[in-house]
Amino acid sequence: MREVAIVGVGLTKFGELWSQSLRDIFAEAALAAMADAKIDKIDSLYVGAMSGGLYNYQEHLASLMADYIGQQGVPAARVESACSSGSQAVRMGYYEIASGASDIVLVGGVEKMWDADDGTFVLGTAADQEYEAYNGVTFPGLYAMMANAYMHRYGLTREQLAAVPIKNHKHSVHNPYAQYPFEIDLKGVLNSAPVADPLRLMDCSPITDGAAAIILAPLEIAHKFTNNPIKIKGVGAATGPIALHDHKDLTRLDAVRLSAERAYKAAGVTPNDIQFAEVHDCFSIAEIIVAEELGFFEYGTAGKAIAEGQATYGGKLVINPSGGLKAKGHPVGATGVAQLIEATLQLQGRAGKRQVENAKLGLTQNMGGSGGSSVVHILEAING
Ligand code: COA
């Protein structure tokens, strides 16, 4: 297998992008990534998207996007895995390069969620239709059950739970692509509108339009495209039960643990080597459980550690320097790709005021549903 590098990145602003269409935002990110890698031709395309059909009445996305970015003729495929569609698409591109089948692969993720007639219904299609969605539970409801179980078992306080969005909003202030780049305090979280007890508005990732794209190439020729390629050192993916009631333990996310174990093994590193991570904080409780499954903190301790500043600058590692899904935004199909872009910018020293000092090794973790799928990538700076 060949080693694989990221040689170009491109991102749109995240938010409510009413004046652009689905294809416009994909093209904006894809063409920016191609310009970053100084290329005008690709060998192959993957598009991560959860539901072009339900959000925008548009399927056949891979072919549409290949055409719209001027790459007619290339093989192209759309990859769907709910909120982890983007990182699953990256994984496909990774193996296409690693296998020797292609040299230049563009992987883009896109979602235009504000166009939907009923966005909550669309997101609910990623839960178990027969047992969950049909009975009226939504993702805020499912994660609220996890939060209640976790608080009951480990004594996590409401204030500690609030430390996650407070931290991520603080990070987002320095991210020009973020949807909600403002700081919030404890009062702001505790007084925000109740959504599903104990979760409030400020515990939830928002509805977001956005697109993200990266260019992958074999590491051995990566310097043709950039003087600062970033190596994908390890990839791991796993599935878990799609229905929350099938989880053996409501406070655990088995797919996250399995995907992390596989990525650490592939990369030959341990959780203690990771300096920063972009993780799937779709709801405050998710970041806490994910941080434990990734091995950054012992079970039952991540909430306290985050509240004590262990997951921000100057702590054990920086979690979600971009602002995370909570503050940067969560255009579901684009999220996984955008996480790799943040990791790339950090490892290239291009992250501006949110730069993690001396960043050499970072991790991304992207999840589908309430733990039905998870993908972990470990990225390494190879220059300097
Ligand atoms: N964080 C911060 N501000 C938010 C926000 C969020 N998550 N969501 C909305 N807002 C702001 C809006 O900008 C708006 O501000 P304004 O009044 O100044 O214009 C205000 O809060 C109300 O927004 P609105 O869109 O009416 O909120 P809503 O009640 O319809 O939706 C949620 C809020 C939390 C229910 C919705 O964002 C949601 O469903 N999030 C979860 C998405 C999800 O499940 N993703 C998949 C994860 S697995």
Using only C-alpha atoms, the chain has a radius of gyration, in whole angstroms, of 19
What spacing in Å lies between the alpha carbon of 201 and ligand 1's midpoint? 6
CA of 205 to the centre of ligand 1 (A): 7
Q: What percent of the chain has pLDDT over 90?
A: 99
Q: How confident is the model at residue 383 (pLDDT cuts 50, 70, 90)?
A: confident
- DSSP result, 166-220: HHHHHHHTT-TT-SS-----HHHHHTSPEEETTEEGGGB----EEEEEEEEEEGG
In total, the chain counts a number of residues equal to 384
Are 176 and 319 in contact by the 8 Å Cβ rule? The answer is no
- Which tens digit of pLDDT belongs to each residue from 262-277? 999 999 999 999 999 9
Tokens of 306: 């985050």
Query: 121: pLDDT confidence band, cut at 50, 70 and 90?
Result: very high
Mean pLDDT on 183-199: 98
For 87, the enclosing helix (H) or strand (E) is helix 85-98
**What average pLDDT does the chain have?**
97
Q: How far is the CA of 124 from the centre of ligand 1 (A)?
A: 16
Mean pLDDT to the nearest integer, 207-230: 97
Amino acid at position 340, single letter: L
Q: Is 330 in the pocket of ligand 1 (CB under 6 A)?
A: yes
Q: Is the pLDDT of residue 360 over 60?
A: yes
Beta carbon of 204 within 6 Å of any ligand 1 atom: yes
Q: 274-320, pLDDT tens digit by residue?
A: 999 999 999 999 999 999 999 999 999 999 999 999 999 999 999 99
Q: Catalytic site residues?
A: 83, 330
* Ligand 1 center from residue 206 Cα (angstroms): 5
Measured distance CA(230)–CA(235) in Å, rounded: 14
Q: CB–CB of 93/217 below 8 Å? A: no
**pLDDT (0 to 100) of residue 357:** 97
**Residue 371 predicted with pLDDT over 60:** yes
Q: Is the CB of 195 under 6 A from ligand 1?
A: yes
pLDDT digits (tens, 9 = 90+) for 82-120: 999 999 999 999 999 999 999 999 999 999 999 998 999
- Ligand 1 pocket, residue 137 CB under 6 Å: no
Whether residue 207 has its Cβ less than 6 Å from ligand 1: yes
72 CB neighbour count, 10 Å cutoff: 10
Average pLDDT of the segment spanning 199-226: 98
Q: Which two tokens stand for residue 204?
A: 């939830």
- 111 in Cβ contact with 210 (< 8 Å): yes
| Ordered DSSP codes for 148-163 | HHHHHHH---HHHHHH
Q: How far apart are CA 90 and CA 79, in angstroms?
A: 9
In short, whether 189's Cβ falls inside 6 Å of ligand 1 is no
Given a contact cutoff of 8 angstroms between Cβ atoms, the answer to whether 333 and 110 are in contact is yes
Residue 180 CA: which ligand 1 atom is closest?
Answer: 2
Q: What fold does the segment set 159-192+230-381 form as a domain?
A: Peroxisomal Thiolase; Chain A, domain 1 (3.40.47)
pLDDT above 70 for 384: no
Helix 332-347 crosses helix 85-98 at what angle (to 10 degrees)? Answer: 60
Report the predicted TM-score, pTM, of the whole model to 2 decimal places: 0.98
Q: Measured from the CA of 82, which atom of ligand 1 is nearest?
A: 48
